[in-house]
Amino acid sequence: MEFSIPGRRLPWVSMMTLNIRITDPHQASLDKLCQSLRQLARGLAEPHAWPGEQLQICAEAGVYEWFIPEQLGGQGWDDADIVRGYLKLSAACLTTTLVITQFTGACRRLAATSNQSLQQQVLPELISGRQFATLGISHLTTSRRYLSQPVLQAERSSDGFRLQGFSPWVTGGRQADFVLTGATMNDGQQLLVLLPMDSPGVSVPEPAELVGLTASQTGPVHLEDVEVAKKFVLAGPAENIMSAGTGAKTGGLQTSTLAIGLASSAIEFIESEADKRGELGEIGAHLRNEWTALHDDLLSSAVGNDSCTPDDLRQRSNSLVLRSTQAALAAAKGSGYVVGHPVGRWCQESLFFLVWSCPQPVMMANLCEFAGMR
């Protein structure tokens, strides 16, 4: 498989990359990449599936370089271009894009660390696709924070830190060379580490079968007296470690972007059906108008011109992706309810946005909408 632009050629095994910015002439290359992802998505319903081929294609196309500064070997895309890229990718294959968000979140934290030795050793391997890293930080942000005891604890050891506990939601933990995770000390301070997954005491049980996105292989990673040397510490110990640095963010624009991307696939399906069934035209047009307004607010927020709050953007994104995917299922009729049809998969995937890093105000707004309490 190859992706090429005039004057350049990218073989499957090449480490060369395409600078496929959304705003430059290489739009066709990104479209071709997304078409391949869309076709390969059909196989992700198989048992024990993992988007390995998709991730390799994205690595060869330079996708992982979007998020990394040029001085560290990346392309240094700005926030607006990253949003546009994620919209394209999530419309093509949400599973692959979810994995990429976790991978690039780890890469961006690594790019921002003051631990330059670790950065220089690992980051080139990651952005080239030769190694894979993912995030295990939900317990520091949204998941399990209500518990009286941290689920992943750390104490100092002779050469660094000893970690005990588990990280509950790790995407692709079984496939990872590293998991960027965080633990809490007895005094409440936290640290971030790049955990080598071959460390003694690390275990990854069989991931749960999810309602959707099972091929992301998301589940817990357990640590039993795991020694992590100082050379693998990215930050801390410090108070509120997640409030510092860049990357590895949950919720916010990234989550809304993926929801809007998935909604676009559903709306495009309705629009295509409207060409044959005129009664769907008004439905598709109404959803498209809502999508356009949401898309514009998203891009405005990406460049710092906030026309709405992140929570408002997330609530509207959740609402649209749920309604548009179900509308697509209704438009597809019985064929859409057969396993293998994309609209059925989209409906399952849309439910993910109700549980993925969903802030309480957003959840309550969605619940009120479901209950008809506008």
Is residue 81 in a domain? Answer: yes
Would residue 359 count as lying in a domain?
Answer: yes
pTM (2 d.p.): 0.88
Q: Is residue 11 in some structural domain? A: no
CATH of the domain at 138: 2.40.110.10
Assess whether 93 and 172 both reside in one domain: no
What confidence score (pLDDT) does residue 252 get? 64
Q: Which of 108, 127, 146 is the last residue of a domain?
A: 127
**How many structural domains does the chain have?**
3
What domain range is 182 assigned to? 133-243
Which candidate, 270, 258, 253, places its Cα nearest to that of 305?
253
Sort 22 into a burial class: Cβ within 10 Å, 0-12 / 13-18 / 19+: middle
- Of 87, 102, 127, at which residue does a domain stop? 127
The reply to whether 280 falls in a domain is yes
Q: How far apart are CA 307 and CA 321, in angstroms?
A: 20
Q: Which residues contact 348 (CB under 8 A, 6 or more apart)?
A: 211, 212, 213
Backbone φ and ψ for 98, nearest 5 degrees, come out as -60, -45
- Verify that 79 and 175 share a domain, yes or no: no
How confident is the prediction along the chain (374 residues), in pLDDT tens digits per residue?
A: 333 323 322 332 233 344 445 555 457 788 899 999 999 998 998 889 999 999 999 999 999 999 999 999 999 999 999 999 999 999 999 999 999 999 999 999 999 999 999 999 999 999 999 999 999 998 887 554 445 688 999 999 988 999 999 999 999 999 999 999 999 989 889 999 999 999 999 999 999 899 999 999 999 999 999 999 999 999 988 888 777 554 434 346 899 999 999 999 999 999 999 988 989 999 999 999 999 999 999 999 998 887 789 999 999 999 999 999 999 999 999 988 898 899 999 999 999 999 988 888 999 999 999 999 87
Q: Are 152 and 210 in the same domain? A: yes
The reply to whether 118 and 144 lie within a common domain is: no
* Judgement on whether residues 257 and 236 belong to the same structural domain of the protein: no
The answer to whether position 283 is within a domain reads yes
User: Does residue 138 share a domain with residue 91?
Assistant: no
On whether residue 17 sits in a domain, the answer given is: no
User: Domain holding 311: CATH number?
Assistant: 1.20.140.10
Do 202 and 155 reside in the same domain of the chain?
yes
Same domain, 171 and 213: yes
| 69 and 171 part of one domain | no
Question: Do 123 and 172 reside in the same domain of the chain?
Answer: no
Q: Show which of 243, 270, 304 is a domain's final residue.
A: 243
Q: Which residue has the tokens 């190859």?
A: 2
CA dist., res. 195 & res. 165, Å (int): 13
Asked if residue 218 belongs to a domain, the reply is: yes
pLDDT at 367: 92
Residues 215 and 288 in one domain: no
Residues 169 and 232 in one domain: yes
Is 303 buried (19+), middle (13-18) or exposed (0-12) by CB count in 10 A? exposed
pLDDT score, position 89: 97
Identify whether 48 is part of a domain: yes
